[in-house]
Structure 1
Amino acid sequence: MDFTLGYLREALSNYEDNAICLRIYKKLKTKDYNSEVEFVRVLDEEEIHFLNNVLPKEIKYAFNEQDFIRGNQLNEVYELLF
């Protein structure tokens, strides 16, 4: 799995009670994506919307905790959603 997607998977574990999140998490778990670009291409509109809402919070949290690597990795995925 792509290193960046590992951080995404970890961040999504905070939202396991959400059905859309579970769909995204399942995609990450069942297929070995070579890059975050490859992964983002398989997301549907609802999943993209979910990530657009969740990732800014997760990125902010990572930077507040001074986990700059995690914050930057999550930001890479976030930028691809547009």
Structure 2
Amino acid sequence: MMKFQLFTTVALKENISQYNLWEGDIPNIVEHHLVKNGEDSYSLEVFNPIGETIAVITVAESKIESLKKNGVFSQRSLQPLLTN
């Protein structure tokens, strides 16, 4: 059973460093991948602020969440995460 509908806008629940994506970034769901004996996953399309595709990635369902009423959109540079 799909938890999220196709073409829904969601938020990442954690950083995905190989794509320079951060927790809270806002992609759109473009495909659902049903897994019989494991966690379903979703393909996500990530856009820049002017609507160009940055990446299409596949993540486990537990790595995304619905948008929240008390959230806010923001803009940042697409750059690698800083690690200590």
TM-score interval for Structure 1 and Structure 2 normalised by the shorter chain: under 0.3
Could you say which structure has the larger radius of gyration? 2
More helix by share: 1
More strand by share: 2
More relative contact order in 1 or in 2 (CA 8 Å, sep 6+)? 1
